[in-house]
Amino acid sequence: MTSYSKTAAKRSGDSPLIARGLLWPSIIFLALITQIPFLVTIYLSLHNWNLMRPDMGITFSGISNFVDIVKRPEFWEVLKNTFLFTVFCLGMCLVSGMALALLLNRDFLGKGIIRTMFVSPFFIMPAVSGIVWKTVLLNPNFGFMAYLSSKLGVSPTDWLGQWPLTTIVFVVAWEWIPFFMLVLLAGLQSVSPDLMEASLLDGATKMQQFFHVTIPHLLRYIEVALLLGLIFIMQTFGEIYVTTSGGPGYASTNLSFYLYRLGFQGWDVGGASAVGVIMVVLTTIFMTILFKFMRRTFGGGLS
Amino acid sequence: MRKLFPSLLTSITYLLALIYFAPVLWILLTGFKNEGDAVAMPPSIIFTPTLDNYRMILESGAGSYLGHSAVVSILSTFLALALGVPAAYALAILKLKKADDILFWFISTKMLPAVGIIIPLYLIIKQLHLLDSLIALIVLYTAMNVPLVVWMMRSFFKDVPYDTIEAYRVDGASGLQGFFKITLPLVRPGIMSTALLCLIFVWNEFFIGVSLTSTSAVTMPVYMASFMTQEGLFWAKMSSVASVAVLPALVLGWFTQRQLVRGLTMGAVKG
């Protein structure tokens, strides 16, 4: 591949100038909008600055913002929430997405429509999903779940009040299971039929076939789904905003929402920036580990 | 027995699909109910449809939020394509030495959580007197989608057989001419599905919207959030607004289903 590309470049006579002209506008734009502000976040995290107290001005404070935050009990609750939320949500998405993908990887009447129905929640904006679940399904007085419990003769549960984090996991999973289903379905459909046939001829049972042929083939699809799911689910914000606003207390606040509370409700620029830095560092650690994984798996596909 | 099992599985699939889709169906139906029918439990399937809610939201000025969302989505998608497609072309066709590293840099910007940069962005945009403006949203949403465009379009350009691109060079066409006349038309379906995905993402974006707007540049998701309190008690009205808010993304999503996997996995997996 490398030798081919070298000769190809020579033959086509592309000047590096053209390549630069095509690439640089987007690189400069992205660096300006996403990278430089992050450097500013780091700078701000080392300063005391509260927009509600302009009289106090901006003063350099070293790492005191970080020390303050780590000392707060709610920070550890938020960290635990973020971790549990992400892990449980990803787990639910993977298991349910797999089950749905297997159900859809068969021939039956109206397959296209059924798939469309399953995919739909993925396109519903988080603000709407959150509100509809909160009011229509889970409202302890008028919601559908309350109606169901009264029919079953049990007293209705205030889902978002009693189990806020778990309930939001379900809302977010409802939106993200379709994504896992689609990726895994693509994986299932790309299993080579020859291989399946060969394994059957070799006397493998359906079960053995699933675990020894299908699952190994699916691994890379599972990785991709988990990686992307991780990025988005870790940053869940809209669903929390419209359902519980992070409460009661900090019971359903994750890192994203914690930053919002500090920055846009408390106007503590320094503290919020420190949380932003922590969030990015944690994401980077996760990503680096997963990237190594991906580079290894997709090494060939990327060059 | 052998015939029973598959049809049982199919029935289960139908039932699950119905349950899974029910909340979406509820939104779309309840928008056409009056408030009395809307809160009936169990939800009524048969009712006298009314357009009152839609008339009401037209009068309430929700149209302007819809307009904001449309302008912001369309312009930022267009800009993201204008910036991202040439870069993707360079990375896919021109065989640069560091193409891999540049690609990973692009995707890494997508992985930087928005919360990591929102505070400085807020302060800078405030300094520029652009808080609560559509321009600020358009610029940020463009940045949000450029990595997606680069990754998706690169994988589409890679599918163009190299010989085709080589052929017009032999014919003596300049690089630019060939790009517009030959390569671009070949990847048109790819550009379409990339654009659709960008539109959907911007249309649904909430965090940046709620952080940077307050009154005059409010988009649909941010407006929807106002229904979380008292307004949410009027289910019929809420559902009609929600229908208007979700339908564009839903319909675009239905159309782009086939390319969705490739788009969402940024070309790492082909659907």
B173: amino acid identity, one letter: A
Tell me what pLDDT residue A9 has. 43
Distances (CA, A) of B214 to B131, B151, B210, B228: 8, 33, 7, 16
pLDDT band with cut points at 50, 70 and 90 for residue A240: very high
Complex ipTM value: 0.87
Q: Cα(B145)–Cα(B168) distance, rounded to whole angstroms?
A: 31
Distance from CA of A298 to the nearest CA of B (A): 8
**CB-CB under 8 Å, B221 with A126:** yes
**CB-CB under 8 Å, A234 with B261:** no
Dig out the tokens for B223 from the structure: 């407006």
Average pLDDT, chain B: 84
Q: Residue B86, Cα to own-chain centre: how many angstroms?
A: 21
Contacting residues of A for B169, CB less than 8 Å apart: 12-13
Distance from CA of A136 to the nearest CA of B (A): 8
Distance from CA of B75 to the nearest CA of A (A): 16
Contacting residues of B for A136, CB less than 8 Å apart: 23, 26, 235
Residue B120 pLDDT greater than 60, yes or no: yes
SS3 B259: helix
Q: Cα(B250)–Cα(A120) distance, rounded to whole angstroms?
A: 7
Q: Cα(A248)–Cα(A81) distance, rounded to whole angstroms?
A: 13
Q: Cα(A27)–Cα(A20) distance, rounded to whole angstroms?
A: 10
Tell me what pLDDT residue A184 has. 92
Q: Residue A191, Cα to own-chain centre: how many angstroms?
A: 27
Q: Cα(B125)–Cα(A68) distance, rounded to whole angstroms?
A: 28
**CB-CB under 8 Å, B14 with A25:** no
Contacting residues of A for B104, CB less than 8 Å apart: 291
**CB-CB under 8 Å, B83 with A26:** yes
Write the residue in B124, B166, B269 that is nearest to A12 by C-beta: B166
CB A239 within 8 A of CB B204: no
Q: Cα(B96)–Cα(A214) distance, rounded to whole angstroms?
A: 36
Dig out the tokens for B15 from the structure: 């039932």
Q: Cα(B39)–Cα(B30) distance, rounded to whole angstroms?
A: 9
Residue B126 pLDDT greater than 80, yes or no: yes
Which of A120, A171, A234, A293 to mutate against chain B (most B CBs within 10 Å)?
A120
Does residue A195 belong to the interface with chain B, where contact is any CB pair within 8 Å?
no
Domain layout of chain B by residue ranges: 61-264
Dig out the tokens for B7 from the structure: 């049809």
| Nearest by Cα to B125 from B222, B223, B209, B221 | B209
Tell me what pLDDT residue A6 has. 43
Does residue A230 belong to the interface with chain B, where contact is any CB pair within 8 Å?
no
| Nearest by Cα to A302 from B186, B87, B158, B148 | B158
A179 contacts: CB under 8 Å, gap ≥ 6: A93, A97, A122, A225, A228, A229, B264
Residues 124-183 of A with CB under 8 A from B: 124-137, 142, 144, 147, 174, 179, 182-183
pLDDT in tens, B202-228: 999 999 999 999 888 899 999 988 887
SS3 A48: strand
pLDDT in tens, B36-50: 777 777 777 777 788
**CB-CB under 8 Å, B12 with A103:** yes
Q: Cα(A272)–Cα(B121) distance, rounded to whole angstroms?
A: 13
Which of B37, B66, B94, B119 to mutate against chain A (most A CBs within 10 Å)?
B119
**CB-CB under 8 Å, A29 with B142:** yes
Tell me what pLDDT residue A138 has. 82
pLDDT band with cut points at 50, 70 and 90 for residue B69: very high
**CB-CB under 8 Å, B106 with A41:** no
End-to-end CA distance of chain A: 8
User: What architecture is domain B61-264?
Assistant: Orthogonal Bundle (1.10)
Between A259-263, A292-296, B26-30, B93-97, the lowest mean confidence (pLDDT) is in A292-296
Tell me what pLDDT residue B209 has. 94
Residues 11-30 of A with CB under 8 A from B: 11-14, 16, 18-19, 21-23, 25-27, 29-30
**CB-CB under 8 Å, B225 with A242:** yes
Distance from CA of A171 to the nearest CA of B (A): 11
Residue A60 parent element (H or E):
strand A59-60
Write the residue in B114, B166, B200 that is nearest to A235 by C-beta: B114
**CB-CB under 8 Å, B115 with A275:** yes
Sign of dihedral through CA atoms B230, B235, B237, B238? Answer: positive
Concatenated DSSP letters of A86-97: HHHHHHHHHHHH
Concatenated DSSP letters of A65-109: HHHHHHH-HHHHHHHHHHHHHHHHHHHHHHHHHHHHHHHHSS--T
pLDDT in tens, A123-175: 999 999 998 888 888 887 778 888 888 888 888 778 888 889 999 999 999 99
Residue B65 parent element (H or E):
helix B62-93
Count Cβ atoms below 10 Å from residue B25 Cβ, excluding itself: 14
Q: Cα(A2)–Cα(A300) distance, rounded to whole angstroms?
A: 12
pLDDT band with cut points at 50, 70 and 90 for residue B271: low
pLDDT in tens, B153-212: 888 888 887 777 676 666 655 666 777 777 888 888 889 888 998 999 999 999 999 999
SS3 B2: coil
| Phi and psi angles of residue A47, each rounded to the nearest 5 degrees, phi first | -130, 155
What mean pLDDT comes out for the span A269-293?
84
Contacting residues of B for A19, CB less than 8 Å apart: 90, 94, 96
Residue A3 pLDDT greater than 70, yes or no: no
pLDDT in tens, A78-93: 999 999 999 999 999 9
Region of A10 (left: φ > 0; alpha: ψ -120 to 50; beta: rest) is alpha
**CB-CB under 8 Å, A120 with B250:** yes
Which of B19, B212, B269 to mutate against chain A (most A CBs within 10 Å)?
B269
Does residue A298 belong to the interface with chain B, where contact is any CB pair within 8 Å?
yes
Domains in chain A with CATH codes:
74-302 (1.10.3720.10)
Q: Cα(A221)–Cα(A214) distance, rounded to whole angstroms?
A: 11
Average pLDDT, chain A: 84
**CB-CB under 8 Å, A22 with B90:** yes
